[in-house]
Structure 1
Amino acid sequence: MTAEALRAGFLSWLGQERHAAANTTEAYGHALAGFLGFLTDHLGEPPDLPALAGLAAADVRAWLARQAKDGLSATSRAQHLSAVRTFFRYLNRRHGVDVTAIRLVATARVRPALPRALSVDQAIDVTAHISDIADDPALQARDTAFFSLLYGSGLRIAEALALDVRDAAALRRDLTLTVTGKGGKTRMVPVLPPVRDAIEAWLTVHPRPLPDSPLFLGARGKRLDPAVAQKVLRTYRRLAGLPEHATPHALRHSFATHLLANGSDLRAIQDLLGHASLSTTQRYTAVDDAGLLAVWRKTHPAAG
């Protein structure tokens, strides 16, 4: 079998049998395409199943070295290597091919970057004044509702954009939203009264408030594109003098950081954010510690 046929079979297995999210399948497919393309140049011809079985650890390391030379970050290289490991496990189970080389290649330890949150005043400033960017009252209402939801409930941008009108309509009887996160997992998130009011204000001017319509629409009447939402905040942060890390995702970081600073339980924050592992949520404790240290350095008489 050709490597491309094996790749297609793997991606089909990943989506249909492992029920991987579409974004995960796409990312794995991209990583494998790069790996197999490298092997075609490295080996002088497109690899088949026997060629993959005969790979040496040096071949895999040469691929990682090429990625590093091309400027791919350590985090991305680790993610690509993880995709290739999963592919080789699939080959072992489905085709009886044990590629021992992959087990001889260590994954570089990547220190995750600390989440960069906004201050409370900066986050509130975004939700209160983001509407200044648009001239159209409907777009003003949309932007206020969207960014208020990101900060008020800690949603990922994709989670907020995936909501439909019927989801928001439930707020009239409940105080929560059902959100679909990574891996297709759903969770309940509370929605604060000011956020509910902002969403209600947007629904009153929503161009197509049918139950199955996207909650947040773009100018052309389709589901709001993430790039457009990011551009709105990028424009506002420049006008308002906010830091460069003032992005939609920074509002999610701010949600978690501000809850922790005010005494919220780490497990509760994990549930609210939809993190599969508590270790992911624990990064925010380092952010809080760093903030305390910065205050100490700035205010203690002997700090220098």
Structure 2
Amino acid sequence: MEPRGEPGPPWLPQARPAPPPPVPTVPGPPPGGDPRPPRPRFDLRRLTRSPRGAVALGALAAALLLWPFAGFSWIPWLIGLAALVVLRLLRLDGPLRGWDIPLACLAVAIGLMVSTGPWAWALAGSLGVLLAGLAQLPWWRLAAVGAVLCVISGVGFGLSMHQDRIELEQIQARAGDLSQAGIAEESGDIVPTLVLAITQSAPDPDLLCSLLNPAAEDQLARGLGVPDCRAAAPVLFQRRPTVAPTDAGMPAAADPKGPPPAELVLDACATHWAEAAGPALGRVQVQLIDPNQRTYLVTGFAPCAR
């Protein structure tokens, strides 16, 4: 008999092969829902708690406070918008790490500061510090500093406005003393206008008295022995020379190349004015009213030199 051979490998595997890994499945959108991812919600609290948000809020509040004092000008706002657009076009918002919007708000505030005064700047800055501190709560120290600065700058701003109002009232009162009708002439036209007021076909008290301030009116009335300036016009008209007035003897005007002097004495002794009013009122004293227009008003009279 032939020897029995060694048995071969069994036809069945000794162990089952490992199953393949499961294929990951991506969950689909819920039925009837929006397939787009949800947008991030704007968190105002988070924005104001950040340093960039606090600076932007403070600068924006300061700009809004300064805007009325700047006459509601839109130019600073356009400058801030242009600065923001330039920073975005140059792609500097990345290196600035989000400080482009606060810088644009600061540009608006600085542009508005150009048209306002120092106390308005202090008040706007104080309000910005206060709002920045309130936005950064519990940063009570910054809020307290802002509140104290608001009180100080508010008091200073109020006093400044009060002082400006007093100065304006003084200027208006001074202008009222200088002129009742608000009519002033250039230095070379004062004496010709006085001569014209007394040499026309009829007396012109309106033209005559409009050139004089109250003190000059009283002096003229006393010199002619009449009650007031309007009564002086007919007297001067009756005393006028019969010869037509000419430019001869008219005083020269102030030098147009230099700044106008504050006061002038115009020698009208060789004109029809001195012939009608008398040599005691022959020299006309005038005071500068408007340096830009170089206009003067009569403030008094002086006697002619002998």
What TM-score comes out, normalization by structure 1 length?
A: 0.21
The structure whose residues are more often helix, as a share, is: 1
The structure richer in strand per residue is 2
Greater Rg by CA: 2
TM-score (norm. length: structure 2)? 0.21
